[in-house]
Amino acid sequence: MPEPRIGVVGATGAVGTVTLEYLRERGYANVRAFASARSAGTRLGDLTVEEATPEALSAGDLDLCLFSVGTATSRQLVPHAVRGGAVCIDKSSAYRLEPGIPLVVPEVNGERAREHDGILANPNCCTIPLTSALKPLHEEAGLARVRVATYQSMSGGGARAMERLRTTEPGAADLEMKWDFDGEDFDEEVKLRGETRKILELPDLPIAASCMRVPVMVGHAESVWIETVEPLAPERARELLARTLTLDDFPTPGRAAGRDDILVGRIRRDDTVLNGLAFLVVCDNLRKGAALNAIQIAELVLARQALHA
């Protein structure tokens, strides 16, 4: 199979730059960088940034496009890339809950990547670690209810949010909740619920979520409380989680930053409910929480194409 022709759209952003690093590390040589007109012509290593226009993306010279742009821009540009013959993996919320579009965490529901019609969605950066932890516990004992509180780093808000934290005077930083608000929920909480249900294929799973952004540069942490249908001892939960995640007694964003794995720890009984467990799950939101997960989806797609070549 010939070397895939890959386009990274949103290449100059916080996730886009990490995506390019991963592609280099994994040996992909035929890569192009796309961004807005403002960034066109700038250099990213040995790549010259091209403007992401409908014409450029639909020209028919790309096999795979990794989108790391806002929802509105994805909705505008992804269909043009698909029309040009590219398989698109989108990291925005534009397509995540669209019927018929796979929402994929490879370790959780990687088989869904086979079902695409040109578009696959990369989940929210908190949904990826959450579903990675919930899946083995559900398979063992069944999930009756999930409660989650997120502590999301500033890098989840993009390069401008990171710069704002850098220039904030010590002691002046505060919690943020700058998502759209419907009077009851932030849209980040709505996404976390809907995406988790879709990935786990549990449409009626009760999930309560509270999301906030904290003055940390990189790394999202989540406190999770679950109730299982059948009893599940903390010791058994540790065994199950250790198969796919990394056990850490006290996982923090600082310990997760720069790593590709998901950390899980403080796994303990929650005696306030029947069959209750509590734990922490943490990952680097720019890496496994975004760029790496998308590339892993892409590699599932490429592997399938190679089988049918």
Look at residues 120, 109, 96, 158 and name the one whose alpha carbon lies nearest to residue 286. Answer: 158
Quickly state the pLDDT bin for 306 (edges 50, 70, 90). confident
Average pLDDT over residues 263-287: 98
The whole-number pLDDT of residue 68 equals 97
Cα R_g (the chain), whole angstroms: 19
Instruction: Using the predicted structure, report yes or no on whether residue 24 has a pLDDT greater than 90.
Output: yes
Instruction: Using the predicted structure, report yes or no on whether residue 308 has a pLDDT greater than 80.
Output: no
- 88 has catalytic annotation: no
**Among positive and negative, which fits the CA dihedral 46, 50, 52, 55?**
negative
Distance, CA of 233 to CA of 277 (rounded, Å): 8
- 220 has catalytic annotation: yes
Q: Which residues contact 233 (CB under 8 A, 6 or more apart)?
A: 269
Quickly state the pLDDT bin for 192 (edges 50, 70, 90). very high
Two tokens, residue 107: 């370790």
Cβ(115)–Cβ(214) under 8 Å? Answer: no
Average pLDDT, rounded, for the chain? 97
Q: Which residues contact 303 (CB under 8 A, 6 or more apart)?
A: none
How many residues does the structure list for the chain? 309
Distance, CA of 71 to CA of 194 (rounded, Å): 17
Note the pTM of the prediction, 2 decimals: 0.96
Look at residues 68, 72, 91 and name the one whose alpha carbon lies nearest to residue 16. Answer: 68
Average pLDDT over residues 270-288: 98
Distance, CA of 195 to CA of 96 (rounded, Å): 7
Q: Is 167 exposed, middle or buried (0-12, 13-18, 19+ CB in 10 A)?
A: exposed
Question: Among the options 116, 126, 220, 283, which is catalytic?
Answer: 220
Q: Is 184 exposed, middle or buried (0-12, 13-18, 19+ CB in 10 A)?
A: exposed
pLDDT in tens, 216-230: 999 999 999 999 999
Q: Is 35 exposed, middle or buried (0-12, 13-18, 19+ CB in 10 A)?
A: buried
Question: Among the options 88, 125, 211, 283, which is catalytic?
Answer: 125
